[in-house]
Amino acid sequence: MTDKDYVVKTVDVHKTYPNGIKALNGVSLNVIYGEVLVIIGASGSGKSTFLRTLNRLEEIDSGSIEVLGTDINCKGSKLTKLRAEIGMVFQHFNLFPHLSVMENITIGQIKVKKIDKQTAIETANDLLKKVGIYDKAAAYPEQLSGGQQQRVAIARALAMKPKLMLFDEVTSALDPEMVGEVLDVMEKVAKEGMTMVVVTHEMDFAKKAADRIAFMDKGRITEIATPEEILTNENNSHLRQFLNKIH
């Protein structure tokens, strides 16, 4: 396999925060096109920090990160262009409260991708059907449930036609009855072949959708394997403790 086959390639990535906490301690992994990689681990293990380094929302101290064949430490317009190819959905929805659902989904297409308004609206309508809230196009975020807002956030990211989707604990702020509706959308996106890196505690989703699961512990990836291999692993005591705790 050549470097061109990798969407993400990280080598020995380190990150220490100013308060002295070492968030990443030599993280190396590759993600290939069409793969769904789920990252699990206890709170504070470095999962979200690592995910945020993949579009340079977090700076690294050392090591290297390539996304879509481009060094993430590139500058200026090259970084802007790269970020336009990476969709990211956060724990908190980050929708524009003063814009309708339709406007939230079309604004990036029009302003960043320079797509004409009618095409952007057609794309938004298709995506609203896909995420099951076609009837909410004219609504504003405050009129939606948390699960609906998160589905809008996913549709907004997909509207940019990214080559990589990053999901950071997207169900952790939701009421339990809303979690399933968001995970269903994510499963659908995964089945359509989108390359995804997902930080989550939702092990049922990981079992169904992941090609591989990576377990992070104290800033390191200590296991990376298929869901079945991870879930039956008896050799890594920290992994076993973590899985026992969340089941």
Distance CA(134)–CA(155), nearest Å, equals 11
| Residue 176: CB atoms within 10 Å | 7
The number of residues in the chain equals 247
Q: Which of 151, 160, 146, 147 is nearest to 55 (CA)?
A: 160
Prediction pTM value? 0.93
Q: Read off the pLDDT band of 93 (50, 70, 90).
A: confident
Task: Identify the CA nearest to 146 among candidates 160, 164, 133, 165.
Answer: 133
Comparing CA positions, the residue from 172, 169, 127 lying closest to residue 151 is: 127
Share of the chain above pLDDT 70, in %: 98
First-residue to last-residue Cα distance in the chain = 36
Handedness of CA 104, 105, 106, 107 (dihedral sign): positive
33's tokens: 């096109």
Pairwise CA distance, residues 241 & 66, whole Å: 32
pLDDT reading at 77 higher than 80? no
- Residues 22/58, Cβ–Cβ less than 8 Å: no
Q: What pLDDT does 48 receive? A: 95
With beta carbons less than 8 A apart as the criterion, state whether 31 and 197 touch.
yes
- Could you tell me if 127 and 158 are in contact, meaning their C-beta atoms sit under 8 angstroms apart? yes
pLDDT band at 81 (very low <50, low <70, confident <90, very high): confident
The DSSP 8-state label assigned to residue 136 in this structure reads: G
